């Protein structure tokens, strides 16, 4: 019963480097989400995928790309990392077969520092 | 679009005292409301939710929240807190028909022995 698994848990990058954050869920959920959490800012939605094969921008998509690889996996890519992208990144998933309003299940986060 | 305001960024309270964490929302459509809890170095966990029906909802660990449509509020309460309740609490709203959540900025609850 792993739920939502994020890798890596920690990462340090230099400005301009690229990397991909991985997320996988084993709950057969349709929807998946990427958030960033910054002190005093709450969680802000970067991108989401309502179902396999679709992705949409959230509140703060600039500087990021996503791929919904299959129903289980949803990755977040930083093409050219910037110090402003230093944050804690959370992946989440939810079911919506029974309609909206379903709770989201979160991974433990990836702590990313960009120097 | 929806928005959420958590009125207190930090709330210190003595053990076994009652606590209320305040949450107000704005929306032009009907809403679903959630409270999540985040313990240090962990992800968010659902604490309780209001979708429809009874306006008072309860969690398994003694928290409750009441949906007040006229005041657009969804305050979280617990009559007697424990040290283990120390965490950050997030209020979130989803507009009817939407799968997205909008989160408040969080309230850090510190329980003092």
Q: What is the pLDDT of residues B81-105, one digit of tens each?
A: 999 999 999 999 988 767 778 899 9
pLDDT at B61: 87
Residue in B42, B43, B50 to test binding to A, most A beta-carbons within 10 Å: B43
Q: Do B100 and A48 touch (CB under 8 A)?
A: yes
Reduced 3-state DSSP string for B11-71: EEEECCCCEEECEEEECCCCEEEEEEEECCCCCEEEEEEECCCCCEEECCCCCEEEEECCC
Of A42, A34, A90, the C-alpha closest to B5 is: A42
Nearest to A40 among B9, B97, B103 (CB): B9
Of A11, A34, A7, the C-alpha closest to A90 is: A34
pLDDT at A1: 58
pLDDT at B71 over 80: yes
Residues of chain B in contact with residue A109, where contact means CB-CB under 8 angstroms, are 41-43
Q: Do A100 and B45 touch (CB under 8 A)?
A: no
Nearest to B104 among A42, A45, A94 (CB): A42
**B50 close to A (CB below 8 A):** no
Q: Do B43 and A43 touch (CB under 8 A)?
A: no
Residues of chain B in contact with residue A31, where contact means CB-CB under 8 angstroms, are 99
pLDDT at A95: 83
**B7 close to A (CB below 8 A):** no
pLDDT at A96: 66
Q: pLDDT tens for residues B22-56?
A: 999 998 788 889 999 999 888 999 999 988 888 89
pLDDT at B18: 97
> Which bin fits A84, alpha (ψ -120 to 50), beta or left (φ > 0)?
alpha
Give CB contacts under 8 A, 24+ apart, made by A55-60.
A58/A33, A58/A34, A58/B100, A60/A36
pLDDT at A98: 52
Residue in A5, A43, A90, A110 to test binding to B, most B beta-carbons within 10 Å: A43
**Low pLDDT (below 50) residues in chain A:** none
**B90 close to A (CB below 8 A):** yes
């Amino acid at each position: 019963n792993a739920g939502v698994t994020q890798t890596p848990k920690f990462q340090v990058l230099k400005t301009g480097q690229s990397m991909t954050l991985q997320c996988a869920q084993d709950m057969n959920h349709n929807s998946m989400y990427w958030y960033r959490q910054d002190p005093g800012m709450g969680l802000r939605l970067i991108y989401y995928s309502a179902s396999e094969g679709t992705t949409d921008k959230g509140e703060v998509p600039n500087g990021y790309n996503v791929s919904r690889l299959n129903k289980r996996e949803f990755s977040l890519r930083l093409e050219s990392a910037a110090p402003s992208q230093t944050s804690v990144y959370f992946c989440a998933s939810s079911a919506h077969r029974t309609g909206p309003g379903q709770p989201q299940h979160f991974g433990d986060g990836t702590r990313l520092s960009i120097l | 679009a929806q928005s959420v305001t958590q009125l207190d960024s930090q709330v210190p309270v003595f053990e076994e005292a009652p606590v209320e964490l305040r949450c107000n929302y704005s929306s032009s459509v009907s809403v679903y409301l959630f409270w999540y809890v985040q313990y240090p170095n962990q992800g968010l966990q659902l604490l309780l939710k209001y979708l429809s029906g009874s306006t008072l909802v309860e969690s398994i660990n003694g928290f409750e929240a009441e949906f007040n449509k006229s005041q657009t509020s969804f305050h979280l309460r617990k009559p007697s807190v424990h040290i283990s309740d120390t965490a950050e609490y997030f209020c979130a709203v989803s507009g009817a028909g939407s799968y997205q959540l909008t989160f408040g900025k969080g309230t850090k609850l510190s329980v003092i022995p």
